[in-house]
Structure 1
Amino acid sequence: MPRLLIVLLTLFLAGCATAPAGPPQSRPLTLLISIDGFRSDYLDRGATPVLAGLAAEGATGPMRPSFPSLTFSNHYTLVTGLHPDHHGMVGNNFDDPVLGRFNQARKETGWWNEAEPIWVTAETAGLTAATMFWPGSETEIRGRRPTYWRPYDSAVSNEARVDQVLAWLDLADGRPDLVTLYFDVVDTVGHATGPGSPETLAAAGQVDAAIGGLVQGLKDRGLYDRTTLVIVSDHGMAPIRPDQTIYLDDALPAGALDVIYASGVAYLAPMPGHEAAVDAALIGRKDHYECWRRGELPARFVLGTNPRVPPIVCLADIGWYLASRARPLRSPGGAHGFDNASTEMQALFIARGPSIRTGVVLRDMDSVDVQPLLGRLLGIAVPVGDGRAADSLPAIRR
């Protein structure tokens, strides 16, 4: 769809949308659930009957993540409708010209303020949002937080995460209209053992059972029929092997290269005085990988204009792993960050609820399409992003 038409449709919806009226218990409920690292074809492997049932009752299909296919980048894309180059969270680790180096321990506001996540939009519109873990949800963004939120803690079990969501839904006053819920175990096990392992399939089954508990909890509370579940992942997973590791600094003098991040994708900066040597050693197509200067990446990646993008970006072929001697391969089973068009990187998308058509198989869902969909489900105007207007998505009931 042409960009101008997307903008016009979105502006039309913005003019018509208002926050739903009525007491909280009578209003529709939207639950956004992320299963980190859940490759789209895991749904077909027989270990996730709850997810398969929800998919059959609604719309589903593989979803293309943004590039790079990394956790922080794509979780922020899902809730802002923007590619990483436009929302500013360009990776799991990156440098900002003013703020310094970002890593997952950094919670300061400035990292996230280049875009507005859906929970901020909802709160601004007069709705109530709750976030049971989501990258960015611990931070005040553009002066707002969700009404309810929990600091991320990987030790909190899947079941306890669901229990917290249900506890929020039990509130007589202040029941949330939008809830996010995040599960990390599938990604963790996928890194350790690979996407084809029995352990990864078992982890997917564990999350499926927890979502089953959530569904039952909604039914017990009489909320299921007016709840829309949007279940996504941030990226897929590709198998890797230790003997297919590329050490990017081996062709350079010691101390010539700053490896900011490395996996299926690498973020690199030459050290002062070594720019020409690093360019000569890395730029262009090599065996099993390719490197570009910032601003020269293929247009389809939509990456390279944000100043947080490093001077050099490298991309490995599927199955190969980029590393440095200081940052060697640590999880030999699986990795992501690869080309976002590859089959192995395709993410999960399921939507089920009163506004979602039944039995729809989606062929061209993109992660930037999720935020306008959420806005439509919540009945609020959302900032114009990079995705399609919600009314153009085949999953929506007309």
Structure 2
Amino acid sequence: MMFDIKRISYFVWFFCCLLVVGCRPSDALSDRYVVVLSMDGFRSDYPLRAHTPTLDSLGKAGVQAAFRPCYPSVTFPNHYSMATGLHPDHHGIVNNSFYDAELDSVYTMRCADPRFFGGEPIWNTAERQGVRTASFYWVGSEIALPSGQPSTWKKFDSSVPFKDRADSVIAWLQRPEATRPHLIMWYLEEPDHTGHVCSPDSSATLRMVEQVDSVLGYFFAKARTLAIFDKIDFLVVSDHGMATYTAAQSVNLAEYLPRDSFHHVFEGVPTLLYPKAGYADKAYELLKKVPNVTVWRKNEIPEKYVYGKNPRVPELVVAPHIGTYVVFRDNPKAYNGGAHGYDNFAPEMEAIFYAAGPSFKQGVKLPAMANVNLYLIIARLLGIEPAPNDGDSATVEALFRP
């Protein structure tokens, strides 16, 4: 399972690092702090369509870019990609839900089985090198991995108000120096939820965009009172965008082939199909006739998606076109809404990236960049040695002041 060159090089590197005694960030960076907020499903063009004064001011104070998710452009793979700097094909969380034949087990959202999680999250890279970290709901931080866990972490609870989460982050930054985290990563599950229910084109979603921007404003108002404010680099990101789909354009695969011919089916965008022995070829031919979707054998997935080499990716992947949702059930309810998981190069899937603080250039807008770069950005800010990752150092360096 996943014993490719990247995986082998990681373990060689990891055990070599264990031999290094007293590995700590450089003295020049040891008094620096990094705070990263992810607002789920925050599409890159929302600030152009809604009143977002906090994000607007953050863009003027620092660096702004569209953030390109990994494929598939869904929440759990992409949050873990941002944390590890690895594409889903390389860290193993290949969708929000999937099947692992070697483990004979299904992964679902918020799964706590560490066997599913490859790579080294940035909080563990930092902790191993003497940097204390904290996480408020970032995907993967609840899992006790072989490489470790943040010093402070929270088990996900959607009932905790967003401003209470902001207050907790401020409280962590007010701790005594000896116990104060130098890296904090926190998470809000909006505007994703509203975008799903109401679509990204709705006034309700734009109102939610403005609401989470106000939470960010509340957070910065408190952050500016901190004695260490001038030492903090702030990053605000998202995991993916959102697209509107319609019932008229959507597809029910049950109209084309029998569900009982598959061991496992994970419907949605994309849809993962694990066919029973001997049925893959027939299913593939039938799926090629389905409108509004592209079907791939796993070895046909275009290289630009960096997807399909991991054994957890099934034999058949159904990729709906923008505006199409896929189900595989009897008598499904037809409705309109918002979805993501589509082609990660589509503009509707682009997320946000804002970064401001003492390390970043000011008032700069850069071209869209891959979200796997977040891991390298944080490592650079903290002055720590990164684990093997898929980020691009030249892209990362363009963000920083000389």
Q: Which residue of 281, 284, 308 corresponds with 1:276?
A: 281
**Residues 151 and 392 (structure 1), Cα distance of their counterparts in 2 relative to 1, 3 Å cut:** closer
* 1:242 counterpart = 2:247: yes
Greater displacement, 307-316 / 96-105: 96-105
C-alpha separation in 2, matches of 1:183 and 1:359: 26
1:179 aligns with 2:184: yes
Q: For 1:130, what is the secondary structure of its paired residue?
A: strand
Q: Within 5 Å, give how 1:46-61 maps onto structure 2.
A: 46-61=50-65
Cα 1:328–1:376 change in 2 (3 A) is: farther
The 5 Å alignment of 1:27-38 reads 27-38=31-42
Distance in 1 between residues matched to 2:384 and 2:167, nearest whole Å: 28
Report the 3-state secondary structure (helix = DSSP H, G, I; strand = E; otherwise coil) of the residue aligned with 1:278: helix
Please tell me whether residue 347 in structure 1 is matched to residue 351 in structure 2. yes
The 5-angstrom pairing of residues 133-212 of structure 1 reads 133-172=137-176, 173-212=178-217
Q: Hey, what does 1:320 align to over in structure 2?
A: 324
- State the SS of the aligned residue for 2:300: coil
Counting only pairs closer than 5 Å after superposition, residues 348-387 of structure 1 correspond to structure 2 as: 348-387=352-391
CA contact (8 A) 1:258 1:271 kept: yes
Q: In the alignment, is residue 225 of structure 1 matched against residue 253 of structure 2?
A: no
**2: distance between equivalents of 1:79 and 1:191?**
24
Aligned to 2:4: none
Mapped contact 1:128–1:174 kept (Cα < 8 A): yes
Deviations 1:286-308 (A, max 9, x none): 42111111121011111011111
Sort the Cα spacing of 1:125 and 1:292 in 2 relative to 1 into closer, same or farther, 3 A: same
SS at match of 1:295: helix
Instruction: Summarize the Cα distance change of 1:330–1:117 in structure 2 as closer, same or farther, 3 Å threshold.
Output: farther
Aligned letter for 1:382? P
- 1:156 Cα deviation (Å)? 0.9
| Shift in alpha-carbon separation, 1:57–1:108, aligned structure 2, 3 A | same
Which of 29, 49, 53 lines up with 1:45 in the alignment? 49
Q: CA deviation at 1:20?
A: 4.3
The superposition leaves residues 206-257 of structure 1 with CA deviations (integer Å, 9 ceiling, x where unpaired) of: 2111111211121111232211111110000000112221112321135123
Per-residue deviation, residues 243-289 of structure 1 (Å, max 9, x unmatched): 2211123211351235532223111111345333312212x474211
**2:306 — aligned with what?**
302
Q: C-alpha distance in 2, partners of 1:227/1:329?
A: 48
- Quick check: 1:39–1:237 contact (8 Å CA) kept in 2? yes
Are residues 328 and 167 of structure 1, via their aligned partners in 2, closer, same or farther at CA, if it must alter by over 3 Å?
farther
Q: How high is the TM-score relative to the length of structure 2?
A: 0.90
Q: Structure 2: which 5+ residue stretches go unaligned? A: 1-8
Alpha-carbon distance, 1:107 to partner: 0.5
Change (3 A) 1:254 1:80: closer
More moved, 215-224 vs 130-139 = 215-224
Q: Does 1:265 align with 2:247?
A: no
Moved over 6 A (4+): none
Matched residue pairs, number? 382
Q: CA RMSD in A?
A: 2.3
| Paired amino acid for 1:196 | D
Change in CA separation of 1:106 and 1:62 when aligned onto 2, cut-off 3 Å: same
Indicate yes or no: 2:19 matched with 1:19.
Answer: no
CA, structure 1 residues 105+386, in 2 after alignment: closer, same or farther (shift >3 Å)?
closer
Deviations 1:116-170 (A, max 9, x none): 0000001001010000011111001124110000000111111111111112112
- Residues 222 and 238 of structure 1: CA distance in aligned 2, closer, same or farther (over 3 Å): same
CA contact (8 A) 1:360 1:394 kept: no
Gapped regions of structure 1 (runs ≥ 5): 1-6
1:63 to 67, 77, 83: 67
Kindly tell me: are residues 258 and 331 of structure 1, through their superposed partners in 2, closer, same or farther at Cα, counting changes over 3 Å? farther
Question: d(CA) in 2 for partners of 1:296 and 1:329?
Answer: 32
SS of alignment partner, residue 349 of structure 1: strand
Secondary structure of the residue aligned to 1:159 is helix
TM-aligned CA deviation for residue 381 of structure 1: 0.8
Aligned residue for 1:181, secondary structure, equals: strand
1:119 aligned to which of 99, 119, 123: 123
